[in-house]
Amino acid sequence: MGADDPDTLEPTACPTAGDIPMLGLGTWENTDADQCAESIRTALETGYRHIDTAQAYDNEAAVGDGIAAADVDREEVFLATKVWLSNLAPDDVLETTRESLDRLGVDAVDLLYVHWPAKTYDTEETLAAFSDLYDEGLIENVGVSNFLPEQLEAAVEVCDAPIVANQVELHPLLPQPELREACEVHDVEVVAYSPLARGGVFDHPTIQEIAAKHDVSEAQVSLAWLRENDVVAIPKATGVDHIRDNWASLSLELDPEDVAAIEAIDDRERTVDPDFGPWNQ
């Protein structure tokens, strides 16, 4: 059987990038409260230790319920959320982050992101508020999301608290080498959202060929490639089979020729492209 067969799944310790588990569970669009809580519980009891949510996802309470329901100590879970772009004025950062903590049912989150550098975002003022939350012990780490290299550099320069991660869309069809290099220069981990290109990797012939070669899913190939490049991945999954299949990617070791074939893909597809995205300004 292939490594993606749930019946063959063996517990696997998840590697980390710094303090961040390299495979997490994304929760975007997981807005059915019961389903969301159950997917969180399933993921944690499967072995995941990294859960990602956001104010804009409207599911922080359900995420908190899932963490509470799982047979896993809260201290073992790396929990991240994000401040929405309308809440990035300093007072709003402080107020809405406390509201997020209340919804999540936790005293602190392990990572708090600036969701987008847009609308009410101001490099100095917004990040000063994040530093205040860090100093108060309400957040363990500061992160940014959807930041271009120049925005990341400015943020690192002004933020009193260390910025540990930049969460961006990243997958074999959008590898973003320049951004990854900028993050490495600033000692910032790269966290990939939409790591399966919202299903796009399932239809790509190169990914399909490598998946067939190893008798695994295309999802596992994409996630293993990200791990090979020291990129944290947070694929969204709600059903047990997909949660377990993604987890099984930790057992997949790509051959050098597999990695080279993926690196040679020249198709490009950005699946998250709002008007306020910094690359559209």
CA distances from 74 to 77, 102, 108, 152, 178 (A): 5, 15, 11, 30, 36
Q: What pLDDT does 12 receive?
A: 58
What confidence category does residue 109 fall into, taking pLDDT thresholds of 50, 70 and 90?
very high
What confidence category does residue 1 fall into, taking pLDDT thresholds of 50, 70 and 90?
very low
Expressed as residue numbers, the domain containing 239 is: 21-264
Tens of pLDDT, residues 44-84: 999 999 999 999 999 999 999 999 999 999 999 999 999 99
Is the pLDDT at 3 greater than 70, yes or no? Answer: no
> Do 51 and 236 contact (CB within 8 A), yes or no?
no
Question: Which residues belong to the active site?
Answer: 57
> Do 96 and 55 contact (CB within 8 A), yes or no?
yes
Q: What pLDDT does 13 receive?
A: 77
Tens of pLDDT, residues 155-173: 999 999 999 999 999 999 9
Q: Is residue 136 part of a domain?
A: yes
- Count CA atoms within 13 Å of residue 163 on its CB side: 29
Q: What pLDDT does 4 receive?
A: 43
Residues with Cβ within 8 Å of residue 241, at least 6 apart in sequence? 6
Q: Is residue 258 part of a domain?
A: yes
Q: What pLDDT does 158 receive?
A: 97
Kindly report the CATH number assigned to the domain that includes residue 94.
Answer: 3.20.20.100
- Phi, psi for 36 (deg, rounded to 5): -60, -50
Q: Is residue 38 part of a domain?
A: yes
Q: Is residue 219 part of a domain?
A: yes
Q: Is residue 270 part of a domain?
A: no
CA pair distance 5, 271, nearest whole angstrom: 28
Regarding pTM above 0.85, the answer is yes
Q: What pLDDT does 8 receive?
A: 43
Tens of pLDDT, residues 197-252: 999 999 999 999 999 999 999 999 999 999 999 999 999 999 999 999 999 999 99
Q: Is residue 279 part of a domain?
A: no
CA pair distance 220, 196, nearest whole angstrom: 9
Q: Is residue 2 part of a domain?
A: no
Mean pLDDT (whole number) for 139-143: 98
Give the residue with greater pLDDT, 194 vs 3. 194
Q: Is residue 215 part of a domain?
A: yes
Could you give the number of structural domains in the chain? 1
- Phi, psi for 4 (deg, rounded to 5): -90, 0
Tens of pLDDT, residues 113-122: 999 999 999 9
> Do 116 and 145 contact (CB within 8 A), yes or no?
yes
